[in-house]
Amino acid sequence: MEKEKEFYKRLEKKGVSRRDFMKYCTLLTATMGLSSSFVPKVAEVFAAPKQRPPVIWLHFAECTGCSEAFLRSMYPGADELILEILAVEYHETLMVAAGHQAEENLHNAVEKYNGKFVCVVEGAIATKYNGGYGKVGGKTFLDIAKYVCPKAAAVICLGTCSAYGGVQAAKPNPGGYKGVGDALGIKTLNIPGCPPNPINFVGTVVNYLLLGKLPALDSLGRPLFAYGKTIHDQCPRRSHFENGEFVEEFGSKEAAMGYCLYKMGCRGPETYNNCPIAKFNDGTSWPVEAGHPCIGCSEPGFWDKMSPFYEEM
């Protein structure tokens, strides 16, 4: 109870009312595909966390856009998630430690929580030349991943790079970059997107804390609750006119906001993600709403498969 009170006080200080927070929990619960009766339980996961799973967060080849997107997570804020809900033991871009101290922290965390921690990975891994195309502190990404990932209870790949290789794996890919699963030959839970939507990461974590298991996945390791439908199937611009008649396939006439971007190269029909529903930055907008065609950023190999981006499929 005390914990809960403190939580709502903290939110208030950040200018977030209890009502806004409950709205977010309702959106998150719906995004996770759970019935509305779960809303209070989802709120409790944030307000009065019962367990804090240890997390080791690795960074390989990437642009750090995934962390940037994550830092814009609404409720919980990134600070809340890292300090109160999860026990993040190691995170290269956010931690204070550097140099040898950082390496020691990683080693200690891996040994202490062997078999129990969740490993979150951002960025792809170079596999050619013994992984020589990508190093941190003199160690290859490949060696670091081989040391850490097999000891984790679960490996969550945050972003298309760690999930499927991303821009690093685009042709001609001289370093032989791959996603973590392919590079190590292990099964990973993938939350792709360049960047991914933080709500899909939060939903995965909440699923784990609430139901004690990871969510159901598709054949590419993506949680079905977020990647079960195509962008096109959920797109408000899909409302259109046929023979001069308004056809309401999705949303309202107002929501259609103009025109379908298919002829400008929109890859929405081939891309599985929940951007039209979850949106980015506090539910502000998403690429197609802002007038830009979807470039298929959550699909494996999208740099090669989906380009040239502005040509009709």
According to CB under 6 A, which one of 169, 294, 300, 303 is a site residue for ligand F3S? 294
b/e sequence 107-140, b meaning 16+ C-beta within 10 Å = eebbeebeeebbbbbbbbbbbeeebebbebeeeb
Helical ranges in 113-190 per DSSP H: 141-148, 160-164, 180-184
Residue from 53, 175, 195, 221 touching ligand FSX (CB under 6 A): that is 195
Using rule CB under 6 A, residue 288 touches ligand F3S: yes
Residues in region 254-273 near ligand F3S by CB under 6 A: 271, 273
Q: What is the dihedral of CA 165, 170, 171, 172, to 10 degrees?
A: -60
Measured in whole angstroms, the distance separating CA 188 from the mean position of its chain's CA atoms is 13
> Binding residue for ligand F3S (CB under 6 A) from 73, 140, 190, 298?
298
* Residue 203 Cα distances to 213, 216, 267, 305, 308, angstroms: 12, 12, 25, 28, 33
Minimum CB separation of residue 306 from ligand F3S in Å reads: 9
Site string for ligand FSX, 125-164 (x = CB under 6 A): ----------------------------------xxx---
Q: Rule CB under 6 A: is residue 297 a binding residue for ligand F3S?
A: yes
Question: Which among 10-18, 61-69, 95-103, 285-293 is the span making contact with ligand F3S, rule CB under 6 A?
Answer: 285-293
Instruction: Report which of 73, 95, 94, 98 is spatially closest to residue 14, judged by C-alpha positions.
Output: 73
Shortest Cβ distance from residue 237 to ligand SF4 (Å)? 4
Residue 286, helix vs strand vs coil: coil
Query: Three-class SS of residue 251?
Result: coil
155 within 8 A of 140, measured Cβ to Cβ: no
Task: Kindly state the smallest distance separating residue 61's Cβ from ligand F3S, in Å.
Answer: 19
Selected binder of ligand F3S within 275, 278, 300, 303 (CB under 6 A): 275
Tokens of 174: 């001289």
Please state, in angstroms and rounded to a whole number, the distance separating the CA atoms of residues 249 and 174.
Answer: 45
Site string for ligand SF4, 214-253 (x = CB under 6 A): -----------------xx--x-xx---------------
Of the pair 77, 269, the CB lying nearest ligand F3S is at: 269
Can you count the helices (H) and strands (E) in the chain?
13, 11
Contact status: 295 vs ligand SF4 (CB under 6 A) = no
Q: Which chain residues interact with ligand SF4 by CB under 6 A?
A: 231-232, 235, 237-238, 260-262, 266, 268-269, 288, 294
Residues that bind ligand F3S (CB under 6 A): 193, 231, 271, 273, 275, 286-288, 294-295, 297-298
